[in-house]
Chains A and B, each alone.
Chain A
Amino acid sequence: MVPLARRLLLRNRGGLLVTIAGVAATVSLLLFLFAVHAGVKDGSTRYVRTANVDVWIAQKGSDNIIKSSSFVPASLAKRVAAIEGVEAASPLVRVISKAEIGGRLTSTLFLFGFDPQTRLGAPDGVRLQPGEIVLDESFARKYELDAGDTLTIQRRPFRIVRLSQGTNALLSQFGFLRFEDAAAILGLHDTASFILVRGKGTAERIRRALPDVAVHESADFVRYHDEELDAGVLPVFFALAAFGAAVGGLIIALMLYSSALERRDDYATLKALGAGHRYLLRLVLAQSLLVTIAGSVAGALFTLAITPLLLRAIPTLVLLYLPRHAILFPVALAIGALAGVAPLRVLRRIYPGEVFRA
């Protein structure tokens, strides 16, 4: 069965190559979409996941650092610190601003100002002096910056002391500086975006003490980010992935359909010899799966080859390939199998008596 399917495919090498290329392009596109989604998700949530904070306090109705506005008094941190069980509490202010490099404005940065004393919210617990900044690695790469370089934000110079990873939310990247530097950029006194708390099991006590703010345990806060991101981008990614999968399926279906027409004599001969309709179906299915497997492997290899080039060409692109993305391959096989029904009608209409036509 499989050798015959392979030979029938090889009878039309041009068509086979085009089909494999089409499937490969589809698989590559889907892998790329999955990797972008995973990369954006990681870049948008890793900071929250690794900030070593037990409780996030935000303005009522605010439950994430990316897509919500939050203002709370910075001095609230002192009241929180006095609550039983709280080990430390300090403000975190978020400023959204462009930077300036050599008179040229950059894309927008999400700047987080943390308390240099408690270092709650500091990436990897970094210590910063006034006028220092930790900058997202991909942002730095995009503008050809490195540790030791300087950039200007709101006319204030900042020296880059370190580059951070997992701080790229695709549309914007993160920077980290001292609270007072960020507050000065913001231009508001006693204003923070969040109060960060270290102290396990204190959320309920803080809620009771401060009923006018939103109090989120760290695990919930991370989950809100995941949900927010999924709600925002997943439908788009799903739509693109579904469109890509449909195109891939149609390419295979078209190849099988035209192959059934071209090889009509062969199928009629098989029928005349006694091959049943089921045998012909399995034969077509085998062809479909062979093309899908070849296309999937080619697509995966192409993706591996092109990823470094893409990352070089688009520095802010984050591609994260995860083991769970391998689900794409059984899905591709299922689509290939589904495409195998395309020539069903042609096969059914082939009449074994056609073999006697000269």
Chain B
Amino acid sequence: MIVAEELVKEYESGGTFRAVDSVSLAVQRGEVVLIIGPNGSGKTTLLSMLGGLVRPTRGTVSVDGRALHEMPERELEHFRLTRVGFVFQTFRLLDALTPRENVQLVLDLAASRHDADAILARTGAAHLAHRRTSALSGGEKQRVAIARALANDPAILLADEPTGSLDAAAGEATIALLSDAARRDGRAVVIVSHDTRIVPHADRVLHMNDGKLSNF
């Protein structure tokens, strides 16, 4: 499903800084992979490369056999739009839009005919559809954000600290939704987090330190 081989990401900043160092990883459909590690260990950079947001300095990433690192920018945009769902620690909802409109926006971008209300209902956010996004609680926002991430029925779901800004109950609900996305829908789910509550829900837990990935 997701196959990364010998991924390296280097940044030039008064010298060469290697954020991700020769990481190889394979994530299957229906699998939840949790990557834990300290701040600055390269987790988010790895997630960005898996989602086609950042191009690797070296190495390869492919999803369903399609090589992301070779895609031109417009193709990569289309790939993100149709194949990847992102969940962020700070939700990244557009406050200018209602929750329903946030979901509909992705559907419109992808010219999809899926029903925004039904998608919101799946994450338990149907009652929030027409509320002001900025007035929602963290847990409510994350439900909407997951709905948006699922809007285009993506093959892979990438979550960056999805419970980082949530209280315990909202965190549990978020974990359940992500887990459900893998178990029920057969998506490949990669979660980057410090939150050890996620460990029992993960099929595999990997540890990242100084840009290197190892089994926990």
A residues with CB within 8 A of B: 1, 3-4, 7-8, 10-11, 265-266, 269-276, 279, 352-353, 355-356, 358
User: Does B96 sit at the interface, judged by CB under 8 A?
Assistant: yes
Chain A residues, CB < 8 A from B54: 353
- Beta-carbon contact of A265 and B77 below 8 Å: no
Residues from chain A with a CB closer than 8 A to the CB of B53 are 272, 352-353, 355-356
Contacts of A279 in B (CB 8 A): 109
For B84, what are the chain A residues with a Cβ–Cβ distance below 8 Å? 274
Chain B residues positioned under 8 Å from A274 (CB to CB) = 77-82, 84, 106, 109-110
- Distance of A273 Cα from B76 Cα, bound (Å): 11
Q: By the criterion CB–CB under 8 Å, are A276 and B77 in contact?
A: yes
CA distance A7 to B104 in the complex (A): 14
Contact sample, A vs B, 27 pairs, CB 8 Å cutoff = A3-B101, A4-B96, A7-B97, A8-B96, A11-B96, A266-B95, A272-B51, A272-B86, A272-B92, A273-B81, A273-B106, A274-B79, A274-B81, A274-B82, A274-B109, A274-B110, A275-B109, A276-B74, A352-B80, A353-B48, A355-B53, A355-B88, A356-B44, A356-B47, A356-B48, A356-B53, A356-B88
Contact of A273 among B74, B86, B95, B164 (CB under 8 A): B86
| B160 located at the interface, meaning its Cβ lies under 8 Å from any Cβ of chain A in the complex | yes
Contact across chains for B78 and A11 when beta carbons are under 8 A apart: no
Residues of B whose CB lies within 8 Å of any CB of A are 44, 47-48, 51, 53-54, 74, 77-82, 84, 86, 88-90, 92, 94-97, 101, 105-106, 108-110, 148, 160, 164
Smallest CB separation, B180 vs chain A (Å): 21
Across-interface contacts of A271 in B (CB, < 8 A):
77
Residues of chain A with a CB closer than 8 A to B74's CB: 276
CB distance from A141 to the nearest CB of B (A): 52
Other CB < 8 Å A-B pairs besides A353-B53, A356-B88, 11 of them?
A1-B108, A4-B96, A10-B96, A11-B96, A266-B94, A266-B96, A272-B80, A355-B92, A356-B160, A358-B90, A358-B164
Structural contact, A4 and B105, CB atoms closer than 8 A: yes
Least distance between B192 CB and chain A CB atoms (Å): 9
CB pair B95 A11 closer than 8 Å: yes
B105: chain A residues within 8 A (beta carbon) = 4, 273
Within 8 Å by CB of B92, from A265, A275, A276, lies A265
Which 8 A-B pairs rank lowest in CB-CB distance, beginning with the nearest?
A: A274-B81, A7-B96, A274-B80, A269-B92, A353-B53, A356-B44, A276-B77, A353-B48
Q: How far is the CB of A14 from chain B (nearest CB, A)?
A: 15
CB distance from A10 to the nearest CB of B (A): 7
- In the bound complex, residues from chain B placing their C-beta under 8 Å from that of A276 are 74, 77
CB-CB under 8 A from B44, the residues of chain A are: 356
Q: Which residues of B contact A352 (CB under 8 A)?
A: 53, 80
Residue of A nearest to B165 (CB): A358
* A250, B199: Cα distance in complex, Å: 55
Instruction: Give the Cβ gap from B42 to chain A, nearest Cβ, in Å.
Output: 12
Min distance, Cβ A353 to any Cβ of chain B, angstroms: 5
User: Nearest Cβ distance between residue B97 and chain A, in whole angstroms?
Assistant: 6
* Min CB–CB distance A262 → chain B (angstroms): 11
Complex contacts, B80 vs chain A, CB 8 Å: 272-274, 352
- Contact check, B160 vs A269: say whether CB atoms are below 8 A apart: no
Among residues of B, the one whose C-beta sits closest to the C-beta of A352 is: B53
Question: How many angstroms between the C-alpha atoms of A265 and B79 in the bound complex?
Answer: 21
Most buried by A among B88, B95, B96, B148: B96
Contacts of B51 in A (CB 8 A): 272
B86 adjacent to A355 (CB under 8 Å): yes
Distance between A280 CB and nearest chain B CB, rounded to angstroms: 11
In the bound complex, CA of A3 to CA of B96 (Å):
10
The answer for the CA separation of A4 and B108 in the assembled complex, in Å, is 11
Who on chain A is nearest to B108 by CB? Answer: A1
Residues from chain B with Cβ under 8 Å of A1 in the complex: 108
Closest to A355 in B: B92
CB distance from A284 to the nearest CB of B (A): 14
| A contact residues around B88 at 8 Å (CB) | 355-356
The answer to whether A4 and B97 have CB atoms under 8 Å apart is: yes
Q: Which A residues touch B77, using CB under 8 A?
A: 271, 274-276
Which of B48, B78, B110 is packed against the most chain A CB atoms within 10 Å? B48
- Complex: A276 Cα to B86 Cα, angstroms: 16
Q: How far is the CB of B61 from chain A (nearest CB, A)?
A: 14
Cα–Cα distance between A271 and B97 once the two chains are bound (Å): 16
Max count, chain B CB within 10 A of own CB: residue among A266, A273, A352, A358: A273
Give the Cβ gap from A271 to chain B, nearest Cβ, in Å.
8
CB pair B89 A358 closer than 8 Å: yes
Q: Most chain-A CB neighbours within 10 Å: which of B48, B82, B92, B148?
A: B92
Kindly state the separation between the CA atoms of A353 and B48 in the bound complex, as whole angstroms. 7
Q: Report the nearest A residue to B49, measured CB to CB.
A: A353
In the complex, what distance in Å separates the CA atom of A265 from the CA atom of B86?
15
CB nearest neighbor in B for A273: B106
Q: Which of A7, A265, A269, A279 has the most CB of B within 10 A?
A: A269
Residue of B nearest to A275 (CB): B109
Min C-beta distance of A125 to chain B, whole Å:
66
Query: How far is it, in angstroms, between the C-alpha of A266 and the C-alpha of B106 when the chains are bound?
Result: 13
